[in-house]
Amino acid sequence: MTATAPREEQLWSRCAGCASLLYRKRLRRNLDVCPECGEHARLGAPERLRQLVDPGSLRPLADGLPEADPIDFVDVLPYPHRLTAARASTGLVEAVVCATATIGGHPVAMAVMDFRFLGGSLGCAVGELITRTAERALDERIPLVLVTASGGARMQEGVLSLMQMATVSQAIAALREAGLLTVSVLTDPTYGGVAASFATNTDLVLAESGARMGFAGPRVIRQVTGRALPEGFQTADFLLRHGQVDMVVQRRSLRGRLVALLAATRAGAPTRPSVPRQEPASHRERLAADDAAVARSPATPEADGTPAVRDAWDTVRMARHPGRPTTLDYLDSVFDGFVELHGDRLGADCPAIVGGVARLAGRYVMVIGHQKGHTTAELVARNFGMASPAGHRKALRLMRLAARLGLPVVTLVDTPGADPGVSAEEHGQAAAIAENILALTVLPTPVLAVITGEGGSGGALALAVADRVLMLENAVYSVISPEGCAAILWPDRSAAPQAARALRLSAPDLRRLGVVDEVVPEPPAAAHDDPAETALRLRAALLANLLPLLDVPPAMLVRLRRQRFRRFGATRAGQRAGVR
């Protein structure tokens, strides 16, 4: 240790956001986030790792690689000189630091890019190191976490740097096939070849607050288009709005978010393919307690007596009551630890569909549901629970992710129908719904659907091709709205009450038809009068129906699910007498 007095600029630094002069130690304590304006300063890879992983858990992977200057590149300086300078100024061997570690006790393989090293550019060595990290994750059957910071491919290595996009992507595909979670954390800036490969082709994409991500940089786009760019272009919030990232996370919450996601997916993923699921003892005890709770609960129509007969039109009005609990209400009351995942990755994030991982009595599930609202403003913001094609594609993405990670899917259906707008048609509403129905028929994980409010036509079915279909007592499920039916088959819409009766859309009728497997009784007079009791009953019903499905092998589940939906063609006529 030398006793040299630190110079002024080492003690203080100026915020790039608000120009405040900040005491360096205070800034570092605040994770290099400006306490005045919230600006997230860029972090080098070692500091980033220090912030994210459990102390003492970091095991760096070997970074020894042969010297690479594959095309003898020279600009004003020979490429090797630039490499030497980057090594000297950063203390790193390359623009990525790779390691295994634990985060909140969950083992992971990590590759963290460092923008200080030649702009975090993706060259052959960086590609090789990240690929090796992914292979390590595959060998150890642990998740892969990537933290990206890059201007793009390393032009000094020519087209060979471009090939790294494919090399790393293949390694990520192998993890996908093995059902191992891949997560990327976008930090500022992430552009070009990195953005167009492993930064965005992972299962989950988190954007740190203030991160910008895009394929082409803003300067290039301005030059090409000759136009000013919209406010906030390519920022994390822009990406969230356009369906490109699952969430935007403040730096101080990043570690906690990763812990929650790792916990959720680790619980579901089988440790080896074709080996039976092993439950930790504490988990079994919890499940046993739940079983006992289920046995005591009045969540079956038989235990509760015959539900009171209500006119079908009254039921329609109950199902649409603005006070009726919504999907987000149930996520709060029935489930724990919901972590919402956003976006279809194709351009939008539909607010009418919410989804993400959550716990049901300690077991992780993927929950996907339509979201309405209680006030006019909420309803408008959520498009009255009418999903756009982007909403259906978000749901599809989450269903497939759940299947890969071995998580059961629980859907909560509450929609008047799919969005009937022009834009929805332009973006392929029909095909989007069709794709979901098809995907659900073959999804190799348990699927449990609950019609909680309105089950409106194809928009509802897009979330309701399930192993078990439950329905709240005052929910409705129908091929068309009573008003729509009345307008077509009666003189006018005022015949909606008659149409409602004719459509057989109530839970008891649908139970008799075999469309619904179980009716979940609501407290008197309806769910909105006692949301807490409704939540208890729904929770008990979910557990009673989900737990038996968990023991069924995926191939058998799919076979039984297809049989379940095949039988409607043959038995409907025979069941009709029972309804009348």
Contact status: 17 vs Zn ion (CB under 5 A): yes
Region 534-553 residues binding Zn ion, contact defined as CB under 5 A = none
Q: Which stretch binds Zn ion (CB under 5 A): 34-42, 291-299, 363-371, 509-517?
A: 34-42
User: CB of 212: closest distance to Zn ion in angstroms?
Assistant: 17
Q: Which is nearer to Zn ion, 39 or 414 (CB)?
A: 39
CA dihedral 131, 135, 140, 145 (to 10 degrees): 30
Q: Tokens in use for 538?
A: 């729904």
Q: Which is nearer to Zn ion, 211 or 449 (CB)?
A: 211
Q: Which is nearer to Zn ion, 22 or 387 (CB)?
A: 22
Q: Which stretch binds Zn ion (CB under 5 A): 13-21, 235-243, 445-453, 518-526?
A: 13-21
Dihedral of alpha carbons 266, 271, 273, 275, sign: negative
Cβ(199)–Cβ(186) below 8 Å: yes
Contact status: 39 vs Zn ion (CB under 5 A): yes
Q: Which is nearer to Zn ion, 27 or 207 (CB)?
A: 27
Contact status: 33 vs Zn ion (CB under 5 A): no
DSSP 209-240: TT-BEESS-HHHHHHHH-SPPPTTTTBHHHHH
Residue type, 50: R
Distance CA 325, CA 167 (A): 48
Which residues are 110's β-sheet partners?
A: 99, 145
Q: Which is nearer to Zn ion, 175 or 236 (CB)?
A: 236
Bond before 525 cis per omega within 30 degrees = yes
Question: What backbone torsions phi and psi does residue 271 show, to the nearest 5 degrees?
Answer: -70, -30
Q: Which is nearer to Zn ion, 17 or 523 (CB)?
A: 17
Q: Which is nearer to Zn ion, 15 or 145 (CB)?
A: 15
Question: What backbone torsions phi and psi does residue 382 show, to the nearest 5 degrees?
Answer: -100, 10
Helix (H) or strand (E) run with residue 435 in it: helix 429-441
Contact status: 18 vs Zn ion (CB under 5 A): yes
User: CB of 41: closest distance to Zn ion in angstroms?
Assistant: 9
By DSSP bridging, strand 106-113 and strand 96-103 are: antiparallel
Number of residues engaging Zn ion in binding (CB under 5 A): 8
Q: Which is nearer to Zn ion, 37 or 381 (CB)?
A: 37
Contact status: 34 vs Zn ion (CB under 5 A): yes
Q: Tokens in use for 282?
A: 């504490």
Q: Which stretch binds Zn ion (CB under 5 A): 7-15, 178-186, 321-329, 559-567?
A: 7-15
Binding mask of the shown chain, residues 222 to 261, with x at each position contacting Zn ion by CB under 5 A: ----------------------------------------
352 Cβ contact partners less than 8 Å away, ≥ 6 residues apart: 370, 371, 382, 383, 384, 385, 386, 387, 388, 391, 415, 419
Out of 15, 97, 319, 503, the residue judged to bind Zn ion by CB under 5 A: 15
251 Cβ contact partners less than 8 Å away, ≥ 6 residues apart: 31, 32, 33, 40, 51, 208, 209
Contact status: 37 vs Zn ion (CB under 5 A): yes
Locus of tokens 């498009």: 383
Q: Which stretch binds Zn ion (CB under 5 A): 28-36, 358-366, 503-511, 568-576?
A: 28-36
Q: Which is nearer to Zn ion, 35 or 70 (CB)?
A: 35
Q: Which stretch binds Zn ion (CB under 5 A): 33-41, 190-198, 337-345, 512-520?
A: 33-41
Contact status: 428 vs Zn ion (CB under 5 A): no
Q: Which residues sit at the interface with Zn ion, rule CB under 5 A?
A: 15, 17-18, 20, 34, 36-37, 39
